[in-house]
Amino acid sequence: MKTLIIALAFLLDSVVYAVPEKDFSQVWSNDVMPYFATGQQRTFINSQGLKLNYFSFVRSRNTKTIVLLPGRTEPAIKYAEFIYDMRAQRTNIYILDHQGQGASERLLTDSQKGYVEHFVDYARDLSGWLDEVVVPETEGQDRYLVAHSMGGTIGTLYLAYGKPIFKKAVLSCPMMEINTRPYKENIGRLLTNILVLAGQGKKYAPDRGPYIPADDTFEKNEVTHSEPRFNMAKALFTTMPSLALGGPTSRWVAQSLKTTKKIDTLAEKIKIPVLMFQSGLDLIVQPERQNTFCEKNSKCKKIHFANAHHEILQETDDLRDQAIEEIKTFINN
C-alpha cells in the first residue's frame, strides 16, 4: 500500500480524550493521520508465502504493548483513531492486516472476494507474526490483545491454543456466532458446504458481491450510528481502492461457520482476564455464543452496549468514549 500521509512529529502527547464527532474531519486530517504516519509499515511473510502488511507504533519510553486485530474487511488504517486514542498510555501498538484483506496479499485473482482456505490460517498467521516479530521486539513487556469481530475469533483461537504471551484480552463484538440471515445457522452451514463441494467455494456466497461505493451509504449501513466515522471508513476505500474488500465467498462462510460452531467451548482453556464488548443492536453477529463463552470463563467480564451497532470502536462519541475508557482501565489496572 502506498502511504498517502505525511509523517509529522506528534505534539499533543498529554491529551487523552477521544476525537469528537463535531470536529472529526478536521482532527482526523490534522492530528490522527499525522500520528498514524509516525508508525512503521512493514511486511511479514506467512507460512503460505503470502506477504502480510502490518504497522508498529513503538517508543522507547513505552512499557506495555497492544496487539490489535481488525475484523473482516477492515484495513489496519481504519484503526488510526484508536491508535491515536492510546498515545498517552505508554503502550506500543502492533496491528496486522489479515491475509486476503487490507494491504496484505489477496488469495484470489479477484481481490474483492473475501476468501480463506482454512480459517485456522488466520490463527497461524497471528502465531507466526507474534513469534517472529512482536514477542522479540517487546521482550519483558506486558502484552494485551484487542480484537474486533473476526479478529476476536482469531484471537480466541490463539488464546486457547497458542503461547501464553498475553496478560489480558479485549474482545469487541467477537464473531462467535454469525448472523446468517435469511437462513438459520445450520442451514447456512449446510448450504455453503454444498457449494464448496460443488466447486463453488471461490464464488461469492449467496446474495453477496463486490464492494460498490455508490451502494455503501450511511442510511443503509448496519455497523455504526456515527456518520463521521462511517464517512471516514468509506473514504479509505474510495481513495485507496486496493484496500476495499467485497462480500465473503462460500468457502469463507463455510470455514467461519465450522470454526464458530463450538468456539464457546474454548472459554475454559483461556486463563487470562477477558473483557468482552457486546452490542445490543448487532446485525452482524449473534449474542448467544458470546453469552455462553463468558458464562464458561470465570475471568470474562461482559459489557453490554444496548444502543450500539456492531462496530463499537467506530460508534458515536458517547458509546465509543465509554469503550475506550473501559479498555484503558482494564489494561492499566
Q: Give the percent of the chain with pLDDT over 70.
A: 95
Verdict on whether the full-model pTM lies above 0.85: yes
Higher pLDDT, 12 or 41: 41
166 contacts: CB under 8 Å, gap ≥ 6: 67, 143, 144, 145, 159, 272
What is residue 9's predicted lDDT score, i.e. its pLDDT? 32
Confidence of residue 11 (pLDDT cuts 50, 70, 90): very low
The one-letter code for the residue type at 108 is L
* pLDDT, the chain, mean: 94
- Is the pLDDT score of 233 beyond 70? yes
- Is the pLDDT score of 273 beyond 80? yes
Confidence of residue 8 (pLDDT cuts 50, 70, 90): very low
Mention the CATH class of domain 21-332. Answer: alpha beta
Q: How far apart are CA 273 and CA 259, in angstroms?
A: 22
Per-residue pLDDT of 91-106, as tens digits, reads: 999 999 999 999 999 9
DSSP character at residue 133: I
What is residue 308's predicted lDDT score, i.e. its pLDDT? 98
DSSP states of 178-236 as a string? Answer: B--TTS-HHHHHHHHHHHHHTT-TTSBPTT-----GGG--GGG-SS-S-HHHHHHHHHH
89 contacts: CB under 8 Å, gap ≥ 6: 64, 328, 331, 332
